[in-house]
Amino acid sequence: MATLCGLQSFSTDSMDLAGVTYPFIFTDTGSGVTFQPTVVFFFWGGLPVQTGLLRGNVNFGRAFATSPTNRGYVAGLSVDAVGTTVARRGINNDAVIIQLDPATSLTKGRLDISTFNVDGITLIIDERFVITGMRFNMLGLGGDLADANIQEHLTPDDNCGTDPVDVTGFGFDPVCGLSVQAGRDSFGISTSESRNSLGAFRSVTQQGAWAGSSDGESGTTDVAALSRFSDIALVRLNRSGSVPFRNSFNSLITDGFRFNCIEDDNDLFQILGFLGGSYHIEEFLTRTSVGTIILTPGFEVSGGIIMSCTNPEALTSNDDSVPKKFGQSLGAFSGVGATEQRCMYGHDEDGLGTSQVTNGNRAGSIYMRGDEAAAPVIAESIEVTTIGATTVTLTQSVAAAVAEHCIAILFGTRAAPAPPSGGGGHNDFDGITSHNYWLRKKH
């Protein structure tokens, strides 16, 4: 059996009333069949357009959901062009998408899971979005990914130098995991730094994480970012560039994961475990010229996630942090088409008296980085161009002078195309026409 994978993207332009539900159909790109996802990964960055880059607030987040009750998010906000920096961060298990308010510690928009359906999911607006036009992306996984579960894990602050730390309670023996955190030790929203991280792990040699932090309530923007591979699975980064908490992956165990403590502190993580399917995690550098990058999973993948802190030093020096800029590029793909790959980009500039924040989206790409000029332009862009039997070919269509560090999380195995059924359909929501892109609205 194969891993089924489908990608969706939508805007809050049409989401204006609390209580309204929006069903989304997930169609596996490889086979063309619709499916009920085992897990959905959400990510967003704040810019409304499908492709573009502009100077403006970054209102970002990531979330997992395996059912209407087993879900959770982390979110952050950094405000552009203010003399005293404004930043927010939040973590909770009561929704899948939120919009943070730059003026308070409240949310200004909230989406949750209503139902998991035989052909997708239905989202429901719990709170009307005040800032319309925010763009959200969803990667659905199913098929031989038989089960998934999210566990909340509060890391102890005194365990380094003692026994490894076990995270259990998944209800099965997971084979791969993802982690997110927002730099808090409990659920809620903080009105200081904007912190978050995303980690992936399946073995001692295949583990990596991205983290970033941006200061709030400061006269000079103070930011840092980190990207490491092979020795890190759970991490928190402070705006100064210090790493107060870091765990490496130790092993897969019955009902969970085992980690080794490197630095300890109280941090609340949401950890997603997978049962079934094939996984591969590897690092790569972007190119300094236009050309191809070959990933080597060893199987024909159905989709994947690409994350980067858009900093060049992290791979070559393996430093704890790079306190120069808070960059983030996060993309996902389910195929090679323009509607089958999406990425978001956010950037905070360091050491400025007036905050300089940029955000962007790019349809048809899985990685992007901006040139932080007065009128920002896309400085780097990478697309998935070929999914082979054992490799994935990326093409760097826009290159920069310095290579950046990226981590790929690949899912497989790709399903064979289904026989023709004589039917089909499409929609033109947000101006996209695609065989695997539907949106229906119910009141």
Cα distance between residue 29 and residue 48, in whole Å: 25
What are the residue ranges in the chain where pLDDT is below 50? 314-323, 423-443
Distances, alpha carbon 273 to alpha carbons 193, 225, 410, in Å? 28, 25, 15
Cα distance between residue 115 and residue 93, in whole Å: 16
Specify the pLDDT at position 87. 77
Distances, alpha carbon 431 to alpha carbons 41, 51, 110, in Å? 23, 12, 24
Q: Is residue 391 within 8 Å of residue 296, measured between CB atoms?
A: yes
Specify the pLDDT at position 326. 67
Specify the pLDDT at position 106. 82
Q: In the structure encoding, which two tokens stand for residue 406, read together?
A: 């990226």
Specify the pLDDT at position 217. 62
Cα distance between residue 36 and residue 143, in whole Å: 8
pTM of the full structure: 0.89
Specify the pLDDT at position 154. 87
